[in-house]
C-alpha cells in the first residue's frame, strides 16, 4: 500500500498527546516533504531516516514523492522521537513490513545513521498517557515500543506493556509479512526485542520504587525541577508506597501540590 499510519506521541510538559504519523508514497518528482508543525529536529529526521534505512540494508524509496504528515497539524512537535515511526511508515507504505501488524503499537525513538535506536525524553509521560486513556481508541491498551533507557523508564508505570528495541532491524523483523525472509543476511539480535513486564507493585528496582529522582545540579529551571519531582511522587503513589520529597532552597516546593495528588 502507498499510505500508512503509525501511532506515536509528542511531549508537552507532563502531557504526551497522541500523534498520527501518516506516510504517503506517490509517483512524481522525487522529494521528501515533512509537514505538521515540525520543529527543526523533526525536519532533520529526513536525513537520519534515509541513512538509517540504507545502512541497515533496507530499501529507501528514493525514486518516489514522499509526504509525511504529523497529525494533528496544530500540535507542536520537537526532538528526534519521530524518527522510528517515520521509518516504519516508509517501510509499511513500501510493503516491506505488514502495516496491519503495526496496529496496537505506539512507537518513539531517535535513529542513528546506522539504525541504532537512541532514547528520547518523555517515556514516562507516554506510559502515563496510555494508562489514563489519553488519545487511546482501542479497547486494549497499546504496546509501547521504545529504545533502551526509554523503555525501562516507561515500564515504571504498573500495567504498561513495553517493548525495548535496540535497532531498526529488530523492529522490522518483528513486523515482516508472513513468509518473508529477514531484511538482511545478518542474524537478529536475540536481545534486540525484549518485552518488559513490571508487576503492579513488587518487581520495580528498589531505588525507583521508593521514588528517588535525580535533580539537575546546575542551571535547572523551575519547570525542570518540578517535572522531576512530579514524576518521583507519581511513581511512589502508583506503587503503593509512602514517600517524602526532599528539596533544596525551596525550589521544588510547589511539586508537593502536584496535580497527580489532587
Question: Does residue 219 carry a pLDDT above 60?
Answer: no
- Digit-coded pLDDT (tens) for 70-120: 999 999 999 999 999 999 999 999 999 999 999 999 999 999 999 999 999
Q: Which is higher by pLDDT, 104 or 222?
A: 104
**Which structural domains are found in the chain, ordered by start?**
3-196 (3.30.230.10), 206-261 (no CATH)
Q: What is the pLDDT of residue 207?
A: 35
pTM listed for this prediction: 0.77
Q: What is the pLDDT of residue 105?
A: 97
The least confident of 32-41, 178-187, 196-205 is: 196-205
CA–CA distance, 199 with 157 (Å, rounded to integer)? 9
Instruction: Give the residue among 108, 102, 100 at the shortest CA–CA distance from 70.
Output: 108
Q: Which is higher by pLDDT, 210 or 219?
A: 219
The least confident of 22-36, 59-73, 186-200 is: 186-200
136 CB-contact burial (10 Å; exposed 0-12 / middle 13-18 / buried 19+) = middle
- Digit-coded pLDDT (tens) for 165-192: 999 999 999 999 977 665 554 545 678 9
Cell of 112: 542513528
List the alpha helices (DSSP H) in the chain: 40-43, 45-55, 83-93, 123-132, 150-154, 168-174, 206-209, 222-238
Cβ pair 207, 191 in contact under 8 A? no
Q: What is the pLDDT of residue 90?
A: 97
CA–CA distance, 158 with 204 (Å, rounded to integer)? 9
Instruction: Give the residue among 84, 86, 82 at the shortest CA–CA distance from 4.
Output: 86
Cis peptide before 72 (omega within 30 of 0): yes
Cβ pair 190, 215 in contact under 8 A? no
Torsion angles phi and psi, residue 196, rounded to 5: -105, 120
Question: Does residue 158 carry a pLDDT above 60?
Answer: yes
Amino acid at each position: 500500500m502507498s499510505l500508512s499510519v503509525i501511532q506515536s506521541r509528542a511531549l508537552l510538559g507532563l502531557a504526551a498527546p497522541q500523534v498520527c504519523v501518516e506516510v504517503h508514497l506517490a509517483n512524481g518528482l522525487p522529494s521528501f516533504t515533512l509537514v505538521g508543525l515540525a520543529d527543526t529536529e523533526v525536519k532533520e529526521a529526513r536525513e537520519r531516516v534515509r541513512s538509517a534505512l540504507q545502512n541497515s540494508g533496507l530499501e529507501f524509496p528514493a525514486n518516489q514523492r514522499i509526504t509525511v504528515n504529523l497529525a494533528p497539524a496544530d500540535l507542536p512537535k520537537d526532538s528526534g522521537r519521530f524518527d522510528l515511526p517515520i521509518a516504519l511508515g516508509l517501510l509499511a507504505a513500501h510493503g516491506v513490513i505488514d502495516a496491519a501488524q503495526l496496529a496496537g503499537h505506539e512507537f518513539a525513538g531517535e535513529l542513528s545513521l546506522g539504525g541504532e535506536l537512541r532514547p528520547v525524553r518523555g517515556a514516562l509521560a507516554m506510559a502515563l498517557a496510555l494508562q489514563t486513556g489519553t488519545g487511546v481508541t482501542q479497547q486494549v491498551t497499546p504496546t509501547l515500543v521504545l529504545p533502551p533507557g526509554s523503555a525501562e523508564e516507561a515500564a515504571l508505570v504498573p500495567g504498561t506493556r513495553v517493548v525495548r528495541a535496540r535497532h531498526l532491524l529488530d523492529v522490522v523483523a518483528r513486523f515482516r509479512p508472513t513468509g518473508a525472509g529477514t531484511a538482511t543476511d545478518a542474524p537478529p539480535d536475540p536481545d534486540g526485542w525484549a518485552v518488559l513486564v513490571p508487576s503492579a507493585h513488587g518487581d520495580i528496582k528498589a531505588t525507583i520504587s521508593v521514588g528517588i529522582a535525580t535533580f539537575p545540579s546546575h542551571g535547572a529551571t523551575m519547570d525542570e525541577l518540578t517535572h522531576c519531582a512530579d514524576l518521583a511522587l507519581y511513581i511512589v503513589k502508583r506503587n503503593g508506597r509512602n514517600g517524602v520529597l526532599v528539596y533544596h532552597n525551596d525550589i521544588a516546593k510547589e511539586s508537593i501540590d502536584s496535580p497527580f495528588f489532587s
